[in-house]
Amino acid sequence: IREQYRMDFKADEEKIRQRAVALYFIDTLGIRVGNRKKEGNTSETAGCCSLRKKHLKLYKENNNQVVEFDFLCKGSIRYYNQISVEKIVYSNLQRFLKNKSDEGYVFDRLSPTHLNTYLKTFMDGLTTKVFRTYHACRIMQQELDKFTRAKRHESYKIGYCKKSIKLVAIFLNHQRAVAEKGGNKKFETSLTSAKLYYIDPRIVVAWCTKWCVPIENIYSTSQREKLLWAMTADADFKF
């Protein structure tokens, strides 16, 4: 898939170029695909296919081509990110944005249905959401694999595992609103969705088994009941 979308960066057809760049962002950033809003829907939330010109800034810095994202995603949670991109991606974005208003769609030739239908030509059942799940599992496995301190106290190991889950949640931009004094809200990273719906629980179970960490310190009773199928994973499981 990566080889193909990289070749498609230079496609003659505009729709194919847009599809290639959209998949590049979905793959590298893990952003949601983003449905277009129906007429009358005033929600300002966006995802990849519903990004507008106003959600992006393009600029060059220290010989790097930078794309700045700033938009509200699912749950009206702000997504803000600055990334360096390849020259071909940068030039394609300039091309897509040319002569568009701030409200114009970046990927005006694309829809989530088109993207998901295209992905199924590679593998049955493959959708854009699978990219988020894949990266969540990849990050979790990589972070847990870094742990080598067998003699550390149990509480340290538990904290390490939870910090690894937090890194996944940050990548997925999972946040929740927390009330502050005066009625104001602030947002903090939420671990629950990443832990239950994105990270393969066998990764965590295997790690806990290997390092003698009680799984109940990571998953609650109700969570373990939901994930019963994964609770028997052995210490050798790798994503």
Q: What is the set of active-site residues?
A: 198
CA–CA dist 198, 137 (Å, integer): 7
Radius of gyration of the chain (CA): 20
Q: How far apart are CA 139 and CA 174, in angstroms?
A: 15
Asked whether the beta carbons of 130 and 198 are under 8 A apart, the reply is no
| Whole-number Å distance between alpha carbons of 112 and 211 | 42
Alpha helices in the chain (DSSP H): 2-8, 14-29, 87-97, 112-119, 128-145, 154-172, 192-193, 201-210, 221-226
Give the whole-angstrom CA distance, residue 55 versus residue 103.
9
